[in-house]
Chain A
Amino acid sequence: MQRFTSTKLFKVCLISIFFGWLVFLNPVGIINPIRNIFLDVLAPFKKIAYTLAAATEGVGEFIGSVGQLKVENMKLLNENQRLIGEKAMLADMKNENDDLRNQLNLLPRNQFNLLAATIISQDPNGMGNWLEIDKGSEDKISEGMPVIVAKGILVGRISDVTQRNSKVILLTNPKSVVSIATVETGAKGIVRGEYGLGLIFDMILQTDTVASGNEVITSGIGSQMPRGLYVGTVQNVHPSDDHLFQQAVIVSPIQISKLQFVFVVIGNK
């Protein structure tokens, strides 16, 4: 009879226990330096693969799709994003003229120092939780910096930084919490991710007014997140489970899988 210690099951169990122990301990102090070197080495190849995918993306979609409609849809999507961003910006600028808002030092968008970055990889589980960009600490990027797309639409914030790359935690990531407010009523709260499912506008006071269609921007309270970055539009409002606050679902105009470039807000001008 075969000894148990020489069976396949024993080998698999032994190795699994060892790596399970590593998962449990998660020794980032040891793992991260190795990971950072590996990520820096891989970055150029990832960039090539991502660029290639962007170039052939049309082919992939054409196979299962709708040809001409796709181009039109893309144009409309881009136009929609641009208009939504502009609309929010205009509404926000109007509010900037308001005395009360001036007291809160609303940042004008032309005061941001932006650094353009190319996306080189995304969350492999398809949950839209993170993406990786080709700029790192040598480009003066640091943890917590906001990441936007054109017209000031917030994508997420920097979480891990290596010498040449950075990981961006998207708004849809459950670890992401950003202070926000509605443009129309100034109702404040936080936006948190729902595992790639969407965005939840949480901790809204019962006394505040939030309605479907309200536009939401960052409130600039806490962290490195400046005020006035567009987050999305309120879709529906409901009471929280404990009925102490209101909650709302926010729809973001961004399709993460379509993004190729983002901008990191590295400071104010």
Chain B
Amino acid sequence: MNKKIIYGGLILLAIFFQLSFLPIFVGSKLLGDAVLMLVLALAVIDGFGLTLGWSVVAGALYDFASYATFGQHVIIFLLAVYVVSFFSRRLSVEVRGTGLLMFFLFIIIVTIISDAMLVAFFVFGGKSVRLFFQVFGNFGLVTFQVMCNSLLFFLWFNIIKKIKKKFL
């Protein structure tokens, strides 16, 4: 019960942060994705089985709050959780230092998957892929997005770790 309230609260907090705080605070054209990074942090900490349900909840709430077509962020978050599970099993995180590299790998892959899925939904919605790539196809901007996502990931990662230590 405690966990449900805390995780639910964290998801809502991430949504407020993404929609109402970051756009005006950073004021940049491309921002990190706070909700995606929260789901990624949960997947890294709790694993596939415990995060699958939360990724669906987070995606659904994010779609509601961001006026997006219902379901699109659910799919993106599901893929993010699966990516973590897929690579965690195949690559070692035991060797000192490689854990951090793994996290960066997750962030890069998940950021690219998220952008690719958004392109897919964009094209599916009858919009031009050319214009989308004018916005997202810039390597510098994608790098900036990965950097923002890295910051957000480690922020969430530490918050969840501390919460789990104290309350769960």
- Contact of B24 with A196 in the complex, beta carbons under 8 Å: no
| Binary flags per residue of B87-122, CB closer than 8 Å to A gives 1, else 0 | 000000000000000000000000000000010010
Give the contact-size bracket for chain B: 35 or more
Instruction: Tell me the bound Cα distance from A197 to B127 in angstroms.
Output: 14
- Contact of A54 with B24 in the complex, beta carbons under 8 Å: yes
Does A53 make an interface contact (CB < 8 A)? yes
Interfacial residues, chain B to chain A (CB-CB below 8 A): 12, 15-31, 33, 48, 52, 56, 59, 61-62, 64-67, 69-72, 74-75, 78-79, 81-82, 85, 118, 121, 124, 127, 131-132, 134-135
- Contact of A46 with B24 in the complex, beta carbons under 8 Å: no
Instruction: Tell me the bound Cα distance from A255 to B69 in angstroms.
Output: 26
- Contact of B31 with A258 in the complex, beta carbons under 8 Å: no
Specify the chain A residue showing the minimal Cβ separation from B89. A8
Interface centre among B52, B61, B67 (most CB of A within 10 A): B67
Question: Which of B16, B23, B26, B33 meets A123, CB within 8 Å?
Answer: B23
Does A52 make an interface contact (CB < 8 A)? yes
Closest CB of chain B to A75's CB: distance in Å? Answer: 17
Q: Is the interface of A mostly helix, strand, loop or mixed?
A: helix
CB neighbours (8 Å) of A26 from chain B are 69-70
Interfacial residues, chain A to chain B (CB-CB below 8 A): 8-9, 11-12, 15-16, 19-20, 22-23, 26-27, 31, 34-35, 38-39, 42, 45-50, 52-54, 56-57, 60-61, 120-128, 130, 132, 160, 167, 174, 194-197, 255, 257-258, 260
Question: Which of A8, A27, A49, A195 meets B17, CB within 8 Å?
Answer: A49
Instruction: Tell me the bound Cα distance from A197 to B23 in angstroms.
Output: 16
